[in-house]
């Protein structure tokens, strides 16, 4: 059954033109991100705190992601556009006006009600979706602070959830997530070290909202929980050591003369926990967390395969 589903998935991708949509989404994301960098670098920018040269970096680059997905996602599944737009618009407001963590949690939780109704979910899955969207969106917004970390980790998470859909023979779920993966991958080209653009909450909140929506809708909550383990550990460390605070209130790691980052105290997080063991370059800490995400993704695939066999 698994191999039949996989073969059906490959044929459907090409017969319905989904592959072309995904490729177009990737290149459109690159083009719009470059355009956004040129527009934002002098009007909405931040300083890269982990570089000796405090250069200006364009912010709110997540707008390019939202625009690209708004163009192409309706060709695959228009209903999945709603969680992206709600989380993205909330991210825009937060990037400009700075909402509190509790305000974001409440708004995201309530947004799950119309999303669930649109997808035809019953009351219990809608309640699960309320929890999933609010928590996952904040988790994907919190594991951040290093060039390419939040976007790269989210890109990997979407890829592995797409492979879960592929295992299950769910073509709509697979292609929706592959488009999401391709668009975020296009953005990552400019967000990776050394970053030319930051996503802002505009780009990070939609990651969790989209993944949670697909997982609840397609009954893949357990695989998503496994995929999200690096986020869960990071959030748990932060809540344990600092409570619920704004990401902007978190003290950044410090830069040594040799270019390596180290932790001089303060709150705990997954990156800081790794840096406490060994100072390293910014891109190396990002690679380490990407590696953890890949490991969790592989575990999710194995668990999902086992469940299907049983």
pLDDT, tens digit, for every residue of 154-179? 999 999 999 999 999 999 999 999 99
Q: In this structure, how many other beta carbons lie within 10 angstroms of the beta carbon of residue 224?
A: 22
Pull the structure tokens for residue 6. 């996989």
Q: Provide the domain count of the chain.
A: 1
DSSP conformational letter for 80:
G
Decide if 251 is inside a domain: no
Q: Are 153 and 289 spatial neighbours (Cβ–Cβ below 8 Å)? A: yes
Decide if 229 is inside a domain: no
Predicted confidence (pLDDT) per residue in 43-90, tens digit: 778 878 778 787 889 999 999 999 999 999 999 999 999 999 999 999
Mean confidence (pLDDT) of the chain? 91
Measuring CA to CA, which residue among 179, 163, 180, 181 is closest to residue 218?
A: 163
Decide if 255 is inside a domain: no
Position 39 confidence tier, pLDDT thresholds 50, 70, 90:
confident
Question: What does the DSSP assignment read for 175-239?
Answer: HHHHHHHHHHHHHHHHHSSSPSB--HHHHHHHHHHHHHHHHHHTT-HHHHHHHTHHHHHHHHHHH
Decide if 115 is inside a domain: yes
Decide if 296 is inside a domain: no
Q: Are 112 and 126 spatial neighbours (Cβ–Cβ below 8 Å)? A: yes
Decide if 58 is inside a domain: yes
Domain that holds residue 132: 2-218
Position 307 confidence tier, pLDDT thresholds 50, 70, 90:
confident
Decide if 303 is inside a domain: no
Decide if 85 is inside a domain: yes
The percentage of residues in the chain with a pLDDT greater than 70, rounded to a whole number, is 91
Give the ranges where 79-199 is alpha helix by DSSP (H).
81-97, 101-118, 123-142, 149-167, 171-191
């Amino acid at each position: 059954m698994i191999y039949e589903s996989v073969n059906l998935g490959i044929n459907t991708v090409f017969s319905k033109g989904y592959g072309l949509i995904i490729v177009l989404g990737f290149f459109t994301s690159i083009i719009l991100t470059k355009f956004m960098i040129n527009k934002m670098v002098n009007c909405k920018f931040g300083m890269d705190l982990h570089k000796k040269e405090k250069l200006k970096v364009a912010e709110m680059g997540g707008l390019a992601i939202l625009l690209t997905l708004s163009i192409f996602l309706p060709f695959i599944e228009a209903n999945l556009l709603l969680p992206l737009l709600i989380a993205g618009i909330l991210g825009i407001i937060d990037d400009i006006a700075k909402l509190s963590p509790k305000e974001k949690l409440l708004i995201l939780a309530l947004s799950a009600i119309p999303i669930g109704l649109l997808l035809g979910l019953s009351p219990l899955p809608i309640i699960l979706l309320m929890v999933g969207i609010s928590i996952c969106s904040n988790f994907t917004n919190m594991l951040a602070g290093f060039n390419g970390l939040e976007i790269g980790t989210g890109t990997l998470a979407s890829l592995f959830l797409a492979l879960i859909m592929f295992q299950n023979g769910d073509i709509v779920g697979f292609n929706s997530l592959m488009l999401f993966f391709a668009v975020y991958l296009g953005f990552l080209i400019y967000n990776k070290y050394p970053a030319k653009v930051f996503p802002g909450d505009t780009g990070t909140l939609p990651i969790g909202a989209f993944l949670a929506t697909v997982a609840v809708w397609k009954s893949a909550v357990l695989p998503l929980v496994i995929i999200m383990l690096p986020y869960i550990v990071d959030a748990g460390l932060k809540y344990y050591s600092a409570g619920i605070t704004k990401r902007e209130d978190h003290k950044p790691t410090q830069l040594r003369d040799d270019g390596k980052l180290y932790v001089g105290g303060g709150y705990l997080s997954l990156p800081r926990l790794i840096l406490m063991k060994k100072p390293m370059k910014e891109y190396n800490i990002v690679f380490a967390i990407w590696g953890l995400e890949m490991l969790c993704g592989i575990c999710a695939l194995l668990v999902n395969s086992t469940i299907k066999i049983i």
